[in-house]
Chain A
Amino acid sequence: MRNLDSEVYEVFAQSDSLSPHVHVFNVQASSPEMALVLAEENFFRRAEFVSLWVVRRDHIHHLGFGDRDGFKKTAKPYRTTDDYKYLRDKWRYYREHPMNPDADRTSTQGGHEHDFTRD
């Protein structure tokens, strides 16, 4: 029986040297050299690339194909900047109203409400 996977090459290309290699599509070929020729002819008649990779499909190892839902992460706001959006307004406020080093905080903060619950 023919091992189809050993004749299928997944194609990855890099559009510029700072970008990652991105999966393009795949080709069926008898050798890596042939796969490169076919990939260039099939996918890059117009678009430019700086690097082209072909990888035999059976050389690619997959993670958890059976359970794609398992890839979804639980919310982790403490790992992102989502909870820090309020900072921009604060910096703007203090640029226009610099804090007085000697003033009593509790009295100067009156009317200016912020989320202090983190600490």
Chain B
Amino acid sequence: MSQQPLISDREAYFLERLDRGDRIEADDWMPEEYRRQLVRLISIHAVSEIMGALPEKEWVPRAPTLYRKLAITAKVQDEVGHGQLLIRVAEDLMRPWGKTRDDIMEDLFAGRLKYHNVFHMATPTWADAGIIGWLVDGAAVITQGMSLSCSYAPYARALQRIVEEEGFHIQHGESICLALAEGTPMQRAMLQDALTRWWPALLMFFGPPEKSELSTNQLRNLRYRIRSKTNEELRQRFFSKYVHRIRSLGLQIPDRTLAQDAVTKEWHYQQPDWDLFRQIVNNHGPRSQERLGLRRTTYEEGAWVRRMAAQASSV
């Protein structure tokens, strides 16, 4: 009786390569599960960049000065550019499945592909645009900074370009928030309201805490060196980086229980509503349907442009 080996020789060699610190390229052999995890991760990241342009785009026509209008336009343009970069990385991975960017967009519209919780939220004031740049992009860079060490080289190379531009986005957001913090009582109140509104979404951004056990997906992604830190480790890093800065502006974080343990340095905090999180990422957030609708309409109305561009290449 022959016994089925747990992993094939090829897979054992693949894992050995990862342990040596080798990075994997698109045309290297890889386990199907590795490919599936990467496609899932990178597609979510790609559509989140594209959907992430929409909340801030709402403030392009209403930016308070010409300078701010130019800067926020540049940022929105960068985010869409990041989406394009990541879609290319995903497309190369999906090639053996015969899938393309059209499938990514169809999956997004059909609700099969999720985008980050933060981009389902409303942006009623200019301070929301500031908080997105300062803290949402700040949170994103903590996650993406970890992913720079991802074992899949094309994703890591894309992230190097993305993280560099995010550095500009964060300072753009800091500049808006500092100006409001130093402004009139009304401007300060607007900034405080935006922070209060965004705080739970910022904590949700890193995903549910692991408690004592890791999910199968997470274990696999750690083993594949796709990620190197848990959701909770990343959230803790966010607290350490931003809590004192937020407080130095005299802003109140809407969580009276938030405190750092003097010995372990661990932050204790009020858990956001994780049921609400699941509703939001399943497209039942405050602005989910409007933004998906806008993206769908734009996609349909732009069909002729894609068709013309495809023909131009064969002239």
Q: When chains A and B are docked, how far (Å) is the Cα of A51 from the Cα of B25?
A: 11
Knowing A95-B248, A118-B65, say if A18 contacts B184 (CB, 8 Å): no
Which stretch in B5-13, B168-176, B294-302 binds the other chain?
Answer: B168-176
Q: In the complex the two chains form, is A118's CB within 8 Å of B247's CB? A: no
Contact of B68 among A80, A84, A103, A119 (CB under 8 A): A119
A81 at the interface (CB under 8 A from B): yes
Q: Which residues of chain B are near A95, meaning CB under 8 Å? A: 244-245, 248
State the main secondary structure of chain A at its contact with B.
Answer: loop
Q: In the complex the two chains form, is B251's CB within 8 Å of A101's CB? A: yes
Contact of B168 among A80, A100, A116 (CB under 8 A): A80
Q: Which residue of B lies closest to A106 (CB)?
A: B184
A14 smallest CB distance to B (angstroms): 10
A90 at the interface (CB under 8 A from B): yes
A24 at the interface (CB under 8 A from B): no
Q: When chains A and B are docked, how far (Å) is the Cα of A87 from the Cα of B244?
A: 16
Q: When chains A and B are docked, how far (Å) is the Cα of A116 from the Cα of B182?
A: 9
Q: In the complex the two chains form, is A87's CB within 8 Å of B157's CB? A: no
Knowing A20-B157, A84-B175, A87-B171, say if A101 contacts B64 (CB, 8 Å): no
Interface centre among B167, B244, B245, B250 (most CB of A within 10 A): B250
Which 4 A/B pairs are nearest by Cβ-Cβ distance?
A99-B250, A84-B171, A101-B250, A78-B70
Q: List 10 A-B contacts (CB under 8 A).
A: A18-B160, A84-B171, A84-B175, A91-B245, A101-B250, A101-B251, A103-B250, A104-B185, A114-B182, A119-B176
